[in-house]
Structures are given as structure tokens and as C-alpha cells.
Structure 1
């Protein structure tokens, strides 16, 4: 029986993350050190999607990177954060990528649940992301709304994702 789940990311997962990013995010390159830094800065927000067959067989089929941030200040594509913003008031879903093998697995819905759980655990009442690849419809269905309240600095960073990138946020209550 197949089992799909998210598990904590480890440093030795990064080569597989890079291979998946190359397939899924064509035109949105980020260096391995960007992902490694996210893992170092906020490990609870770095996840690997796996498909398991039996007790010891695991196939990596996706990843996600989330970190605390300040609403309206999305990080630019392929840039190091250096540190987490001490004024962070939301959890930023920096990157998620799922291979076609993950379609229909429920991993996307589960990731939104995990994001909400992380927000609650860290006292954050909002989540944010930059929608690319015309994914805004998916994120709207998950409760995210376009948020035009982006700082001047944030607008410059948002532009690094391309003309169709949308900054979206979701209010969370528990």
C-alpha cells in the first residue's frame, strides 16, 4: 500500500531538492546554498514529500520551504536571508515543488494544514506566499487571497519572480 506524507528535511536531502526544483521550477533557479540556509535558519519549515512502499522504501517526490517573515516583505528569488526577521509576523511559504507522481496524493492539502500548525506553534496568525506558474487559483482554493499591500522593497523582490507573480496571504484563526 502506498503512503504519501511530509517528513522533516535533512541536509542530505538537498541534492534531491535541487533535482526536483530543476524539473518543476524551470525559470525560477535558486542555488543550493539558499535552500541550505533556509534549513539552517528554520528547520521546522523545511519538509520533504515522500511516497513510501513498505517499511524501508521511500521515494522523494517533493519539498517545501517555509520560514517566519514580515508581511509585505517577500524575499527575492535566489537570495540568502542571512537571519530571520525579528519583526516576523507571518509564515512565508517560500517554495513548494511536487513531482507529477504526487498529483492526487493529498500532499498539497496536507501542506496547508502543516503550514497552519507551524503558524500556531510559532504564534503567527498569517501565512504568505508568492504564487508563480499561474498557481494563484490553487492557493485561492486553499484560502489565500491576493494582497496588494507589499512594501516598496517587497515589490522589488516580488519582481524577481516574474511579471505574473502574485503576493498572497491567508489569515489564520484557531
Structure 2
């Protein structure tokens, strides 16, 4: 096994079949229509990447975009357009196949997205942590934001879903 660092590259439309297959495997409890990923890629290609594990194919993906703080989009919902101005950089989904975990790939792409958020003029990055991923996100500098207004928005994401925010380092 090579010890090369994880290679994230920009997602293309040709990657969408693999992305949907990974989503179906990793997020069994949170199915989303293939149109969701296609729309996110079309709306904000600068926030969509795949973990390229040549010659084994794609081992994961991330989909992210500017959005509104404390207003996570409902699961399996088309956005239509991105807000302007945005008040957060939102990670819609980060998914890694089991063979892509434990290699630093998640931390590497989160660091890249934090830099991207700062470059885009956004002072924070947010997400909905699901399936027991809160500990991973805490290790990346995210904290749980709890407000009553968030409860209905999180309902579609499952009982353990937590909205989390990280302040982007601007210095």
C-alpha cells in the first residue's frame, strides 16, 4: 500500500454516477435523489471534490457551497439557487468509503474547504453531523450550535443530527 497523501480533485459530471453509488452505500438512512448532487455541482463546482484513489476509482466525495447560517437545507431538496450574500460556507455532504477512511482524507478536505471559505469571504463553515460523526467534526474544530429554530430543520436528518459550526481562521 502506498503512503501517498489523499488526492482530492475537482468533481466533474462524469463522477456523478460514482458519487451517487458512494452516497447509497455510506448514507443508507439518508437517500437523496441523484438530481441533488448534479444540482450542487452545477450551482457551485468550486465546492465539489472527489477522493481519487487510482487505480481503485473514487473513494469518497465532498459537496459544499455558500449558504445561510443556521438554515441547513432540508435533506433531499433542490436549492434552486445559492443565496447572495451568503453567511456561511456549508458542507452538504462528506462521504468516504471504508477503504478511504483513516488516511487523513477527511481532515485534508476539511482544511481545504476552510481555506476556500476564507478566500470566499466567509468567516465560518457549517454542516449537519449525522450517523455519530460529531466526534470527527469536533476534532476538526467544529462545535455544536443548539437553537430551538434548528430542531425542525434537523428532523429529516435523524435523531442524532447536530448542526455544527467552525469559525474560519482569517489570519
Quickly name the TM-score band, shorter chain normalised. Answer: over 0.9
Shift of 1:156: 2.4
Alignment of structure 1 residues 63-82 onto 2, 5 Å: 63-82=61-80
**TM-score under structure 2 normalisation?**
0.93
2:166 to 162, 167, 170: 170
Q: Which runs of 4+ in 1 moved over 3 A?
A: none
**TM-score under structure 1 normalisation?**
0.91
Unaligned residue ranges in structure 1 (runs of 5+): none
Distance 1:69 1:86 in 2: 8
Unaligned residue ranges in structure 2 (runs of 5+): none
Q: Give 1 or 2: higher strand fraction.
A: 1
Distance 1:90 1:5 in 2: 26
Shift of 1:65: 0.3
Shift of 1:58: 5.5
Distance 2:135 2:3 in 1: 28
Count of residues paired in the alignment: 168
Distance 1:147 1:69 in 2: 16
CA RMSD of aligned residues (A): 1.4
Distance 2:42 2:101 in 1: 29
Shift of 1:104: 2.0
